[in-house]
Amino acid sequence: MTIPFRGPAGQETTPYLLTPGPLTTTPAVKEAMLRDWGSWDADLRAVVGSIRSDLLDIADASQGFECVLLQGSGSYGVEAALGSFAPKNKKTLMLTNGAYGERAIKAMSYMNRDFISYETDELEAPSADEVAALLKANPDVGAVFLVQCETTSGIVNPVEDIAAVAQKAGCVVILDAMSSFGAMDLSMKRMGIDVLISSANKCIEGVPGFTYILARRDLLEASQGVSHSLSLDLYEQWAYMQKSGQFRYRPPTHILVAFAQALEQHKAEGGAPGRLARYKKTAKAMRDGMRRIGLSPLLGDNETGPIIQTFATPRDPNFDFTRFYEGLKQRGFIIYPGKLTKKPSFRVGNMGALDHDVMAMLVDATEATLKAMNVKDLTPAE
């Protein structure tokens, strides 16, 4: 893919957003938002319809699955999905190894749904064997929730193995694929995923403002009256969308047309495999370059995904994250603070309309920023 707006840091096309989202988008995605749209208009309804069917195609879920679009960020989608599909008369097994698993658990507590949790360290993936043992010991569990790429660290969890044991135990599998859908290998049919949640501004590279939930049609049909919330009720949102082709309440019009443009670009790049290939290239360029200047990624090359990279904060007393952030920002790059609870770290994202040359520029900018801060000891802080 050619990134048409690539240019030296400092030009109007920057900053490059190297974060878990929002992300850098192409000019075509931004330009798609320059027109106003009526919500009842047939043109907009056609956009909504094509987005829904494209998302099902990407998920390999065209038969027997439905796609529901919902206003709000990804967290709204997770809460809506749990509200509609976490059983009321059974428990849900909640897997967590980071902030997004924790947030989903919090949502379960807010809506008073019964759950048990399986927590692993932020830098450690959950084990399918452990999930199997937990499901055996707790026959009252009816659903399993997990995150594919835990954006807290960038770790990729073994979805296929865990979904297989969950399915064997007769559980519904609910997957937060927020920061992986559209790039990482994901087939709902093959992997046995019953419900999947993602959002507009992750690997599809749209702008933030809506979330989407893909779910088995029979589960959706059975979810009438289950949700704890009016505006997050996926059955009602779906039923209205089926009937009218429209959102139930005010639609995020401009964001939808930008997303339709982003989907065209996704197809032109070769779908998820094409996007994954680019992200892998950018992730490698970033990790190799950062290592070359002395910084340490916290996860090994085989544990991390090509979505976001976590680096250890340097030990040097001159290092201060806010000054580092500002120095990179002046050079055209926006990064993100760390979210790990135990190790001081910062994060740099790979998602978005970026290529490996942008990564080379980032590494140069990082080296220049550290030099300007007089940071010499880059060994990890404890």
Ligand X SMILES: Cc1ncc(COP(=O)(O)O)c(C=O)c1O
- Cα angle, residue 180 at apex, residues 174 and 186 outer, rounded to 5°: 65
CB of 136 to ligand X, least distance (A): 28
Confirm if 146 and 122 have CB atoms less than 8 A apart: no
Confirm if 140 and 89 have CB atoms less than 8 A apart: no
Which residues, in sequence order, are CB contacts of 222 under 8 Å at separation 6+?
none
Nearer to ligand X, 83 or 327 (CB): 83
CB of 311 to ligand X, least distance (A): 18
Q: Name the DSSP class of 33.
A: G
**One residue of 26, 71, 84, 179 binding ligand X per CB under 6 A:** 179
**Which run of H or E residues covers position 351?**
none
CB of 31 to ligand X, least distance (A): 23
Strands 172-176 and 195-199: parallel
- Residues within window 308-347 making contact with ligand X, judged by CB under 6 A: none
Task: Using DSSP, state whether 191 is helix, strand or coil.
Answer: helix
CB of 43 to ligand X, least distance (A): 27
**C-alpha span between 70 and 248 (Å, rounded):** 9
Q: Does the protein bind ligand X through residue 157 (CB under 6 A)?
A: no
Comparing every residue's Cβ against ligand X, the nearest one is 74
CB of 259 to ligand X, least distance (A): 14
CB of 131 to ligand X, least distance (A): 18
Q: Does the protein bind ligand X through residue 151 (CB under 6 A)?
A: yes
Task: Using DSSP, state whether 275 is helix, strand or coil.
Answer: helix
Q: Which stretch binds ligand X (CB under 6 A): 67-75, 155-163, 290-298, 372-380?
A: 67-75
**One residue of 54, 79, 122, 176 binding ligand X per CB under 6 A:** 176
**Which run of H or E residues covers position 243?**
helix 234-244
- Residues within window 292-311 making contact with ligand X, judged by CB under 6 A: none
Which residues, in sequence order, are CB contacts of 264 under 8 Å at separation 6+?
none
Nearer to ligand X, 179 or 350 (CB): 179
Task: Using DSSP, state whether 18 is helix, strand or coil.
Answer: coil
Binding pattern for the stretch 199-238 against ligand X, x by CB under 6 A and - elsewhere: x---------------------------------------
Q: Does the protein bind ligand X through residue 100 (CB under 6 A)?
A: yes
Q: Which stretch binds ligand X (CB under 6 A): 2-10, 71-79, 243-251, 297-305?
A: 71-79
Confirm if 205 and 25 have CB atoms less than 8 A apart: yes
Torsion region of 66: left, alpha or beta (phi above 0 gives left; psi -120 to 50 gives alpha): beta
CB of 380 to ligand X, least distance (A): 24
Q: Which stretch binds ligand X (CB under 6 A): 72-80, 110-118, 247-255, 337-345?
A: 72-80
Crossing angle for the helix pair 253-268 and 42-58, to the nearest 10 degrees: 40
Task: Point out which residues bind ligand X (CB under 6 A).
Answer: 20-21, 73-75, 78, 100, 147, 151, 176, 178-179, 199
